[in-house]
């Protein structure tokens, strides 16, 4: 039996029971990030691995893009807990023939993204590989006294809202996959996301009951909240914008742009549930509500989306 | 110009100035681990990447061995600061045809090693790769109120001491490389190290002025302390044990076992400097002393060892 046979969920089922626990584990695996007790405090921690050819392609993304994306997807995980990224550790496996200019530009991109939240790079490891580039980023973050917002606190009656873009990265990927390099805004969105970092801590302050970032797809990540919280989520798509560029690209490619909105990942928007009646300031937009039951309903229809499986 | 052209040191020279800084960075890149301020406290953090075929081979190491080694080399970095590992994050890039039994045993090994210090696994990422297995481990740790022991505090007059084994892993690698599977003790030592974790915090309590773990080789890592501290280090080899098994293996392979002791990495012994007159309890053994000047001297001779370069 191989990891492809059982897929990501099957793999996690086998791995989780094997993981050692520690009394410093305030919040362990399974959410966007962990919360670790330290003497006198606590720290948010999360890690992500990017593999060349699967998570980025050198012919589509510049090294600066890859650096920004590598930092962004980890800093987004910290924001999705209601925290602020403070420190990154970068593990980098490089083929021996990697151009030093690639490495320079990668770290330049990493720094640009870190500067958006004031995070530093505090450590790392550089090793040689005989294969493609593999990047492992760990982000540490601060809750600044806030309680972490997990995926499991959504309650029937809550409103569901979104901050940030969806569908842009998926549209950009579709365009690139067909050999086009425009519309530029969509292609750029695939190269690295524009993450609404401040909306994470703001959501925590507004009393968010559950939150995560959209990394696998809007419906897939809403489902993650619904499953973790034991609730159903109903959304309508009218609040989600199909931009003119997205509509043009979809027409040119002969696809339905709404699928990009619902199934596209990697834009790292934040989605959260809030108690009914919460006044939501920009950039939060109300998307739907939490009800009793199971599953995710889109415009009244049950969604059968299964999300992105990293092993299938 | 490629990363092979400039090597690890050249690469680090380009990368370091590019790294963003943050006010939470109490101790940044360049030591065994970083120290990060968190609200009300601070946390030790370090990361390492292991690439199949370079850092482990599936025909030589079981998945349990690889799990132990992956945890051990990161927990050793925390110990080398005088800290205790508390939490690990595991990034794992796996080919789709990886047997699930491999993954199970890998995490079992990881857990066994973590249990030696009471560390938990708090997070991770599982992704698919089209190449060999790549493992990225980040360890967080606690100083328990101690000050971190960096590489840069050694002073002329200090004694230099070692805790733990050297040469065992290198001897085991030499044996395996020639197609042998015995002596078992040496081969096992290559598969995963036996790290004297408690000796790290103990050294901090004893007033250690500098410390690091032996990951690249005894002379190379002594040189790291000497360079960081602006001093010279003199050691004698008489205190280092060439075990009967090591001697027999060296004779069979026609090599000098003292090279294993001086140049062999990956046993993750701890080396430290202490103020003259410090009473050193077991497992610490005095190895030499810190003097004014530059370089590392072994039995009175300048050592020209350049250490292990990950990119050459």
pLDDT, residue A29, reads 75
- Stretch A153-177: mean pLDDT, rounded? 97
Residues A102-114: b if buried by 16+ CB within 10 A, e if exposed: bbbbbbebbbbbb
pLDDT, residue A305, reads 63
Q: Strand B41-51 to strand B301-302: parallel, antiparallel, or no bridges (unpaired)?
A: unpaired
Q: How far is B106 from B64, CA to CA, in rounded Å?
A: 5
pLDDT, residue B308, reads 62
Q: What is the pLDDT of residues B226-277, one digit of tens each?
A: 999 999 999 999 999 999 999 999 999 999 999 999 999 999 999 999 999 9
Give this complex's ipTM.
0.91
Q: How far is A235 from A223, CA to CA, in rounded Å?
A: 11
Tokens of B52: 């199949």
Interface probe for B, chosen from A9, A35, A75, A87 (most Cβ of B below 10 Å), is A87
pLDDT, residue B306, reads 56
- Stretch A267-295: mean pLDDT, rounded? 97
Show the beta-strand stretches assigned E in B143-209.
159-163
Bigger pLDDT: A7 or A310? A7
**Of A2, A4, A18, which is closest to B108 when you measure between CB atoms?**
A18
Q: What is the pLDDT of residues B18-36, one digit of tens each?
A: 877 777 777 777 677 777 8
**CB distance from B54 to chain A under 8 Å?**
yes
**Of B10, B41, B49, which is closest to A93 when you measure between CB atoms?**
B49
Q: Give the 3-state secondary structure of residue A37.
A: strand
pLDDT, residue B19, reads 77
The fold of A41-142 is 60s Ribosomal Protein L30; Chain: A; (3.30.1330)
Instruction: Report the percent of chain B where pLDDT is more than 70.
Output: 97
Beta carbons of B271 and B240 less than 8 angstroms apart: no
CB contact under 8 A, A3 and B90: no
Domain ranges of chain A: 41-142, 159-302
**Of B2, B23, B99, which is closest to A100 when you measure between CB atoms?**
B2
pLDDT at residue A155 tops 70 = yes
Dihedral sign of CA atoms B263, B269, B270, B271 in order:
negative
Beta carbons of B72 and B197 less than 8 angstroms apart: no
- Stretch B174-180: mean pLDDT, rounded? 94
pLDDT, residue A22, reads 74
Of the pLDDT bands very low, low, confident and very high (cuts 50, 70, 90), residue A76 is very high
pLDDT, residue A273, reads 98
pLDDT, residue A49, reads 96
Beta carbons of B299 and B236 less than 8 angstroms apart: yes
CB contact under 8 A, B43 and A89: no
In chain A, what residues touch B124 (CB-CB under 8 Å)?
A: 15, 29, 47
Instruction: Give which of A36, A34, A2 is closest to A16, Cα–Cα.
Output: A34
Q: How far is A152 from A289, CA to CA, in rounded Å?
A: 15
The CA-based angle A252-A254-A259, given to 5 degrees, is 115
pLDDT at residue B139 tops 90 = yes
Interface probe for B, chosen from A49, A113, A114, A133 (most Cβ of B below 10 Å), is A49
**CB distance from A115 to chain B under 8 Å?**
yes
pLDDT, residue A156, reads 98
pLDDT, residue B40, reads 72
Cis peptide before B244 (omega within 30 of 0): no
pLDDT at residue A150 tops 80 = yes
Bigger pLDDT: A72 or B33? A72
Dihedral sign of CA atoms A26, B115, A126, A66 in order:
negative
**CB distance from A258 to chain B under 8 Å?**
no
pLDDT at residue B311 tops 90 = no
Matching residue, tokens 């065994």: B32
CATH code linked to domain A159-302: 3.90.650.10
Of the pLDDT bands very low, low, confident and very high (cuts 50, 70, 90), residue A312 is low
pLDDT, residue B183, reads 94
Phi, psi (5° rounding) for residue B79?
-60, -35
Query: What are the residues facing A50 on neighbouring strands?
Result: A135
pLDDT, residue B270, reads 97
Strand order in the sheet with B270-274: B210-213, B270-274, B159-163, B285-291, B232-235, B296-298, B301-302
Bigger pLDDT: B188 or A305? B188
Of the pLDDT bands very low, low, confident and very high (cuts 50, 70, 90), residue A42 is confident
Beta carbons of B55 and B48 less than 8 angstroms apart: no
pLDDT at residue A306 tops 60 = no
Q: What is the pLDDT of residues B56-91, one digit of tens each?
A: 999 999 999 999 999 999 999 999 999 999 999 999
**Of A4, A20, A311, which is closest to B121 when you measure between CB atoms?**
A20
For chain A, what is the mean pLDDT?
91
Of the pLDDT bands very low, low, confident and very high (cuts 50, 70, 90), residue B305 is low
Cis peptide before B145 (omega within 30 of 0): no
Q: What is the pLDDT of residues B42-53, one digit of tens each?
A: 899 999 999 999
pLDDT at residue A92 tops 80 = yes
pLDDT, residue B55, reads 94
In chain A, what residues touch B95 (CB-CB under 8 Å)?
A: 3
For chain B, what is the mean pLDDT?
91
Which residues, numbered 134 to 173 in chain B, qualify as contacts with chain A under a Cβ-Cβ cut-off of 8 Å? Answer: 134, 136, 138, 140, 142-145
- Stretch A191-202: mean pLDDT, rounded? 97
CB contact under 8 A, A131 and B127: no
Instruction: Report the percent of chain A where pLDDT is more than 90.
Output: 74
Which parts of chain A fold into alpha helices (H)? 3-15, 63-79, 100-115, 168-177, 184-191, 199-205, 218-229, 244-253, 257-263
- From the CA of A157, how many Å to the nearest CA of chain B? 31
pLDDT at residue A258 tops 90 = yes
pLDDT at residue B103 tops 80 = yes
Q: Strand A159-163 to strand B159-163: parallel, antiparallel, or no bridges (unpaired)?
A: unpaired
Phi, psi (5° rounding) for residue A254?
70, 35
CATH architecture of B3-142: 2-Layer Sandwich (3.30)
pLDDT at residue A270 tops 60 = yes
């Amino acid at each position: 039996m191989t990891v492809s046979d059982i897929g990501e969920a099957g793999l996690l089922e086998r791995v989780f029971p094997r993981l050692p626990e520690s009394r410093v584990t305030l919040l362990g695996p399974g959410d966007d990030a962990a919360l670790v007790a330290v003497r006198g405090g606590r720290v948010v921690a999360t890690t992500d691995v990017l593999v060349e050819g699967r998570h980025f392609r050198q012919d589509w993304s510049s090294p600066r893009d890859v650096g920004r994306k590598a930092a962004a997807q980890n800093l987004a995980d910290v924001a999705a807990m209601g925290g602020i990224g403070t420190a990154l550790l970068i593990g980098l496996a490089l083929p021996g023939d990697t151009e030093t200019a690639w490495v320079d530009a990668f770290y330049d991109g990493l720094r640009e993204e870190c500067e958006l939240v004031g995070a530093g790079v505090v450590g790392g490891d550089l090793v040689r590989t005989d294969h493609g580039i593999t990047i492992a980023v760990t982000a540490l973050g601060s809750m600044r006294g806030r309680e972490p917002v997990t995926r499991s606190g959504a309650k029937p009656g809550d409103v569901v809202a979104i901050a940030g873009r969806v569908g842009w990265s998926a549209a950009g990927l579709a365009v690139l996959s067909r050999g086009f390099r425009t519309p530029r805004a969509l292609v750029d969105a695939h190269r690295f996301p524009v993450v609404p970092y401040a909306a994470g801590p703001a959501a925590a302050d507004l009393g968010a009951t559950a939150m995560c970032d959209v990394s696998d797809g809007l419906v897939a990540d809403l489902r993650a909240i619904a499953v973790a919280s034991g609730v159903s989520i109903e959304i309508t798509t009218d609040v989600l914008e199909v931009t003119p560029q997205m509509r043009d690209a979809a027409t040119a490619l002969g696809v339905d742009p709404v699928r990009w909105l619902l199934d596209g990942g990697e834009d790292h928007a934040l989605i959260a549930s809030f108690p009914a009646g919460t006044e939501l300031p920009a950039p939060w937009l109300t998307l739907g509500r939490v009800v009793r039951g199971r599953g995710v309903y889109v415009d009244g229809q049950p969604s059968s989306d299964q999300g992105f499986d990293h092993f299938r």
